[in-house]
Amino acid sequence: MFFEYSLYFITTTILSTIFAIAGLGSAVALVPTLNIVGLSFDMARVSGLFVNSITTITTSILNLKKKLFDMNFVAPLAISSLIFASIGAKISLMIDTAIIKTIFGITLIVIASMILFFKQPKNKKFVGSKAILIFTGSIGGLFSGFLGIGGGSIISPILLMFGYDMKKIAVGISFVIPFSSIVAFGSYATVLELDYNLLAVVGVGAYIGGMIGNYLLHFKVSSQMIKKILAIALYIIAIKILFI
């Protein structure tokens, strides 16, 4: 098992670093990637949610110390995301895995396309709307529980569509994701037998990746570079899930 755990650790560290740069949980890429390298899809989803929690809690603490959070922005997202994450997880447990993987692949293509090609509207009239934030958090939470991805990769492009700044989204979502991830993780943990050694391995990798990614977010990488990195990674993984 040493080789398998080493592979899971390296995979988790790399993907957690890349996605922490955007303030997102890495599960949207980690779940299918862990499945591709040999982990069952159910355990990959549980591991992804656990990793999302570790990575984004790490970045949240750092951002909290720097007083970067706007609670009027993050609170509606966090509360609505938390509620709908549990609903999504319960629905997922009633659906065949093959169907969920197909939905996963299509979702990745949609997300990647929005990140890469969508141009932000000049009209900022929706920025600051509580209704938009609650709607977005609900959709993100539902996908978080259903696919085991944390929800940040859903929330981010939706907020971009409504005119929010990428940097603001990246910082804010790092606070939101732990809520939906922990709730969804708990829902899966009640019906699946957990591998605690695996969770420890991916947890350490997520922590290291979160620290590195947060540093790069604030000091080294532009918003445009963040978008390109995320989109290319998601396209590659989606193609692998759907066609290979």
Local confidence band at 122 (pLDDT 50, 70, 90 cut-offs): low
Count of beta carbons in the 10 Å neighbourhood of residue 127: 16
Per-residue pLDDT at 22 exceeds 70: no
Cα–Cα distance list, 94 to 39, 171, 239 (Å): 21, 34, 25
Q: List the structure tokens of 156.
A: 């981010």
What pTM was computed for the model?
0.74
Residue entry with tokens 């699946």 = 192
Tokens matching residue 111: 């997300």
Tokens representing 230 are 């995320």
| pLDDT per position as a tens digit, 222-244 | 667 777 777 887 888 788 778 76
- In this predicted structure, what is the pLDDT of residue 134? 92
Give the pLDDT of residue 18: 79
* Sign of the Cα pseudo-torsion (224, 228, 234, 238, in order): positive
Judged against a pLDDT cut of 80, whether residue 220 lies above it is answered with no
Measured at the alpha carbon of residue 153, what is the angle toward residues 108 and 191, in degrees to the nearest 5?
A: 85
Q: What is the mean pLDDT of the chain?
A: 81
